[in-house]
Structure 1
Amino acid sequence: MNMVLRYTYTKRISSLEHGQALRLLSGKACLAVAPGQTHKTRAKSAKLGLVLVCVMWVVVLLSVIMTTVAHTSRLDTRISLASAEKMRCKWACRAGVETVIAVLNDDFATNYSDSFDDLWAGSPADFNDVPLDGCSFTVEVIDEAGKLNINTATKEQLMELANMTEEIADSILDWRDGDDNIREGGAEAGYYVNLPYGYRNRNGNFRTIREMLLVKGVTPVLMYGGTGNEIFEKSAGWINYLTCYSYEKNVDATGGGRININKANENRLRRSLDIKRSYAGWIVENRGDGFEGIGELITDDSPSKAKRDGGDSDEPQPLDMETFFRIADKITTTDEEMIPGKVNVNTAPAEVLLALFEGDEKIVEDIITTRNSLANGLADIGDMGRVKSFTKKAAKNYIDRLTTRSSVFTVHSTSRAHATGALGKVESVVDRDKSPAKILYQRTGADY
């Protein structure tokens, strides 16, 4: 009887669900469980644990993916913002250049001579930190006619520049001449083609001022000053004093055509220039194959002032200096529309004037004093007669290298984005005498 009851009770327990058996066991019920049931429970628990681990790894993987996507998105956003700000700065720089062109054109329409009293030289409100759609731009305007032209400068003039040597001066002249004859300290094709990364010299005019860096002996330190990598820093570098762009339009101060003294007959010279018959006759008689420059009208016999007797002899006589300076801006010896290399005495710094006049400090001092004493500087080259030390000899030697007008300007335009502080830099060389104004050279991201 007892065995039957025990079997019946055990059978009942074995029919319970596994979960109920576990709960009974957890309640400290001392009931027996079938031997095969333990293996199944452990297998199922292992499967559940494996699923949990897989889920956890999936969560971790998804977290990594989401973090990477978020980081990439932020990076893409930053790149897009940087690209947008870069483009914004680029066009802000261009806006600075166009602003300068507008000012130069306005100045040209109202004032035919150029000096530091003009709008382009002294209008900080128009050129400094000008706001523009999340950016601001600042521009600096440099008159290229206020520099010594490397394509027309003589060796004596080059030697007046700081740190210039005989070898470099000769190499510059060899670079621009049209032959292969080597000056004493110079260099021609044989030197350049045998360099580690050889190239040929131009044997022609410099086309950009940075082309000088290809010339034997010229280094970035000599060119730019300082360490050779200064950003828009005023220094003793040659780039501040040399150019290859300057020229003067062959017209007078009113924009009218000049009289070519090599072609005009005596009557036209008298009528157009309002000079004496004796002066016109002397010009025609002495021009021979043609004057090379108007300075040749000055001779050792040229008096300082015209005679006041009121007479006009038929006998040819050289011009007096007073008459020469009066007509100097109205005459020419060539029909070329542009005359390269003339230096604007109103805007040239002392270093350039000293090189131009081959070290004559007295003339340089007197020019600066005279131009500062006039409201708008010297009106035309005839005003050089006001300069005390500009003697008859100096006028004969240098008058053909001088002007008071400028055509080509370099514009340094720098922009800054307000949001990110991104910077943009552009250097443009602008010829305002072209219609419309023409950009001759542009360097983006230029420090120098």
Structure 2
Amino acid sequence: MRRRRGLILVVVLVMIALLSLLAASYSFMVRSYTDEVNSQQASFYARMAAESGIQHAIVVLRAYRNDPTVWYDNPAVFRAVPVTPTPRQAVQSNEAVNNSYDPNAPPVWRFNLVAPNPYEPATVRYGVTDETSRLDLNLAKEEQLRRLFEYAIPQETTSPVDVNVLVDSLLDWREKGAVPRPNGAKDEYYAKLEPGYRVKGARFSTIEELLLVRGFNGWVLYGEDYNQNGLLDPNEDDGANSFPPDNGDGVLYPGVAPYLTIWSYEANLSRDGRPRINLNMKDTQKLQEALEAEIPPHLTSYIMAVRTGGKAFNSVMNLIPAPEPDELPEEEAAQPEDPATTQPQGDPASSQPGEENPASQPSESTDQGRSEKQAAGAPPVFKDLTPEPPPGTYEDLPLILDRLTTDATPAMAGRINVSTAPLPVLASIVELTDEEVQAIFAARQQLDAEQLSTPAFLVTTGLVSPYKFRRILPKITSSSAVFTVDAVGYGDHTGVTQRIKAVLEMRGPVAQVRYYRNLSSLGTAYLPHVVEQRALTGRGGR
């Protein structure tokens, strides 16, 4: 009897132990499921906060699209913006959120809009990025691509990149035809890969498509910047210790991707959103009325005299006396001058392209109608349209560039925003010397919104000569209709973050999303609870 009682006690103890294990396992499972739900909920809230950041950018761009001082770097507008009702005990000011998250803080969700800072590479700027500050991958010419790659890609490595292969292969990929360039590749090359594929023979659809092109790989496109934040993180400066591969030199190579785009275009509108006055409109009476309403009389009289004389303007720069050519290099100066060269039809100094395009498609900036001397590679020679010099001065230039045009084309593509472009993109304007590129980049920080509103500041501040300005004007701009937003959503009480990249095309007040990608899988790229600062510096170009 005692043995049975002892056996029952053992069975009972075993049952209690098993039930305790089951209860503990169930409790652990419930806790893990609860944590998972809470994590998913926090990720959802963080993503909605990031989405709110995109909508916030749209609201700002509707009102201030042509004022980069508002959207380029403005912590007061784009940093630590709350999207949920803020309790009294929560931090109210975005400038005061400088500490890491506090688990005991009220659940307030916020967003930051961040972007690489070319002026201070160890920090970020709080704002959006205009796509005209990048080089258009589908419209860039061979010499532009070569100079950008030479400027942006470091060659002091154990395996230098052959820029000639990159340029020729890129052009072969987007152009039709079966014959490759000397350093390029067509179907024959790609068919031998595993798996094989054919060359596209059309425009790029995304920047990532470059990874299909000969010579391009992850290092060329994204460099050491694995999480694409423009900052040098510890794992991006530790040599071979961790991914991604880097040389541990304390300088970030961000790849060429940050300097390229496929969405670069601007509307043919003035700063206030009104259509520019077309100097070549057929109705001269309507033209005169429009000019008299806002253009100074000395310019209006000259414009009407040219038009009533049966001539047409091929550039708004026809309103300013043609500049004398700069001193040419010996090899260019030795070429005989073409006596027949006059102001070319479709002056390459035109502030707008002269090629008509459907309203639904932006036109490409083209150097059309060049003289035979220009086609041979020599610089153009500009001449006035009339025997008497035009009455305009460079003091009139900001107004001329803002309000006047010689083309009714509604949009122009592929021009570079000299008010915001980083160094490698400025360098792709091949007529500029390295010294001029550096001078423009440095001078912009001292200029106000009014000066940066048109490219006129290049010549009015003496950064380039009047002759060179007229040469590069078809390639440059100071406005954009497309913007990239990098939004980070987060909460005061949690370390969960979500990051979304979107490309917005502003068609008047209406925003169209051209590209959308959740970049959260790249890891924690930013520390949104603090003012971003890295001890190591970044690479801004050569």
Report TM bin, short chain.
0.7 to 0.9
Distance 1:419 1:370, change over 3 A: closer
Give me the whole-angstrom Cα distance separating, in 2, the residues matched to 1:369 and 1:227: 25
- 1:443 aligned residue (517, 520, 539): 517
Q: Which of 187, 190, 202 in structure 1 is aligned with 2:188?
A: 190
Percent identity for Structure 1 against Structure 2: 28
- Aligned partners of 2:459, 2:432: CA distance in 1, in Å? 20
Paired position in structure 2 for 1:352: 425
Q: Which is further off, 266-275 or 391-400?
A: 266-275
Aligned partner (choices 18, 21, 25) of residue 68 of structure 1: 25
- Work out whether residues 247 and 339 of structure 1, in 8 Å CA contact, stay in contact via their aligned partners in 2: yes
Q: Report matched runs for 1:61-100 at 5 Å.
A: 61-100=18-57
Question: Is 1:128 equivalent to 2:183 in the alignment?
Answer: no
Question: Which of 411, 429, 435 in structure 1 is aligned with 2:503?
Answer: 429
CA offsets per residue over residues 331-370 of structure 1, 9 Å max, x none? 5565432211111111112322122235523443454466
CA contact (8 A) 1:426 1:442 kept: yes
- Name the SS for the 2:507 alignment partner: coil
Structure 1 residue 139 corresponds to structure 2 residue 113: yes
SS at match of 2:270: coil
The alpha carbon displacement at 1:192 in A equals: 2.8
Over 3 Å counting, the alpha-carbon distance change for 1:166 and 1:120 in structure 2 is: same
SS of alignment partner, residue 414 of structure 1: strand
Please say if residues 279 and 319 of structure 1, whose CA atoms lie closer than 8 Å, have aligned partners that are also in contact: no
| 8 Å CA contact 2:281, 2:287 repeated in 1 | no
Which residue does the alignment assign to 1:300? 381
Q: Residue 378 of structure 1: which of 414, 436, 452 is its match?
A: 452
RMSD: 3.5
Cα distance in 2 between the residues matched to 1:188 and 1:52: 83
Secondary structure of 1:347's aligned partner:
coil
**Measured at CA, do residues 387 and 363 of structure 1 come closer, stay the same or move farther in structure 2, by a change above 3 Å?**
farther
SS of match in other structure, 1:159:
helix
Q: Which letter does structure 2 place at the counterpart of 1:375?
A: D
Distance 1:227 1:270 in 2: 55
Runs of 5+ unmatched residues, structure 2 = 85-106, 115-127, 154-161, 233-251, 292-299, 316-342, 351-367, 371-379, 526-542
Question: Which has more radius of gyration?
Answer: 1
1:284 is matched with which residue? Answer: 312
How far has the Cα of 1:269 moved from its partner? Answer: 6.8
AA partner of residue 257 (structure 1):
P
5+ residue gaps in structure 1?
A: 1-43, 304-312
Which residue of 253, 263, 269 maps to 1:251? 269
Which structure shows the higher helix fraction?
Answer: 1
> Is 1:151 aligned to 2:151, yes or no?
no
Once the two structures are superposed, residues 229-256 of structure 1 have per-residue CA deviations (whole angstroms, 9 ceiling, x without a partner) of: 5544274421222211110102234433
TM-score when normalising by structure 1: 0.74
C-alpha distance in structure 2 between counterparts of 1:266 and 1:327, whole Å: 18
**Aligned length in residues:** 389
**Structure 1 pair 431/425, CA: closer, same or farther in 2 (3 Å)?**
same
Name the aligned partner's letter for residue 410 of structure 2.
E
Q: Give matches, 1:11-410, under 5 Å.
A: 44-108=1-65, 113-115=66-68, 118-133=69-84, 134=107, 135-140=109-114, 141-161=128-148, 162-163=152-153, 165-226=163-224, 228-233=226-231, 235-236=252-253, 237-258=255-276, 264=282, 274=300, 275-276=302-303, 279-280=306-307, 281=309, 283-284=311-312, 291=346, 294-295=349-350, 300-302=381-383, 322=393, 325=397, 327-332=400-405, 334-368=407-441, 371-376=444-449, 377-388=451-462, 390-391=464-465, 393-410=467-484
One-letter identity of the residue aligned with 1:167: V
Task: Read off the aligned partner of 2:201 and give its amino acid letter.
Answer: N
Aligned partners of 1:328 and 1:241: how far apart in 2? 26
What is the Cα deviation at residue 404 of structure 1? 1.2
Superposed CA deviations along residues 90-137 of structure 1, whole A, max 9, x for unmatched, are 1111122222222222213xxxx343xx21123213322334442332
* Letter of the structure 1 residue corresponding to residue 471 of structure 2: N
Question: In 2 relative to 1, CA 94–301 (structure 1 residues): closer, same or farther, beyond 3 Å?
Answer: closer
Check conservation: 1:246, 1:342, Cα contact below 8 A.
yes
Is the Cα contact below 8 Å between 1:182 and 1:188 reproduced in 2? Answer: yes
CA distance in 2, matches of 1:220, 1:333: 43
How far did 1:321 drift? Answer: 7.6
User: C-alpha separation between the residues in 1 aligned to 2:461 and 2:369?
Assistant: 19
For 2:13, the aligned partner's letter is M
After TM superposition, give the deviation of residue 265 of structure 1 in Å: 7.2
C-alpha contact 2:455 2:477 (8 A) present in aligned 1: yes
CA separation in 2, counterparts of 1:191 and 1:411? 37
Q: 1:215 to 1:317 in 2, by over 3 A?
A: farther
